[in-house]
Amino acid sequence: MALVLWRLVLALVFSFCAVAVIAPRQAPAADVTVYLDQAKLMQLPDKVATIVIGNPLIADASLQPGGFVVLTGKGYGVTNFIVLDRLGNVLMDRLIQVQGPRGVVVVYRGIERETYSCTPKCERRITLGDGNAYFDAVINETLARSGSAQGAAPSQPTASIPAPPTPVQIQVPPR
């Protein structure tokens, strides 16, 4: 009887250990949280030479004078942000989490999704993940309005594509 009891206790101990090993763990908390389509200002350490964003589809970084960087949420998820000095030493290594926008109402019409900004009156808003028809309608309306504000509304709104950069020519004086 004692042998059976001992085996039962041993089995329980092993099962608790197995559950502790394979149990899901909470993801590490992000060091910086940015909301989709919003920016956050962050102070950088001295002697920064390089900044790296792990996934530029999730977040973007823009270096500013005075040792600041502007982090912008581009897509949902978590990515890393690394700051290096001239020798390649890591000065900063942070996780950036991009969360969905605040103050919005999401409406599903079947499988089509629409987003409204409700601060305080609900207005149409385009957000990553909206249905194609809704997204196109809102973006064309926004482009037409922007064109009207500039004095020449296009008859058929289209997304503007920036011109390619002009090549730089450097002339080296003869020796």
Residue 1: pLDDT band (50, 70, 90) is: low
Residue 140 within any structural domain of the chain: yes
Number of domains in the chain: 2
Q: What pLDDT is recorded for position 171? A: 43
pTM: predicted TM-score of the whole model, two decimal places:
0.61
Tokens 């009156």 correspond to what residue? 121
- Using DSSP bridges, classify how beta strands 104-109 and 68-73 pair: parallel, antiparallel or unpaired: unpaired
pLDDT for 60-96, tens place per residue? 999 898 889 999 999 999 999 999 999 999 999 999 9
Residue 57 shares a structural domain with residue 114: no
| 24 lies in some domain | no
pLDDT tens, 12-69? 556 655 555 455 555 456 799 999 989 999 999 988 999 999 999 999 999 898 889 9
Same domain for 54 and 69?
yes
Task: Flag whether 166 is in a domain.
Answer: no
Same domain, 79 and 66: yes
At 104 the pLDDT is 87
- 85 and 120 in a single domain? The answer is no
Distance of alpha carbon 62 from alpha carbon 159, whole angstroms: 23
Residue 63 lies in a domain: yes
Same domain, residue pair 66 and 92? yes
Q: Please tell me whether residue 87 adopts helix, strand or coil conformation.
A: coil
Range of the domain at 129: 104-149
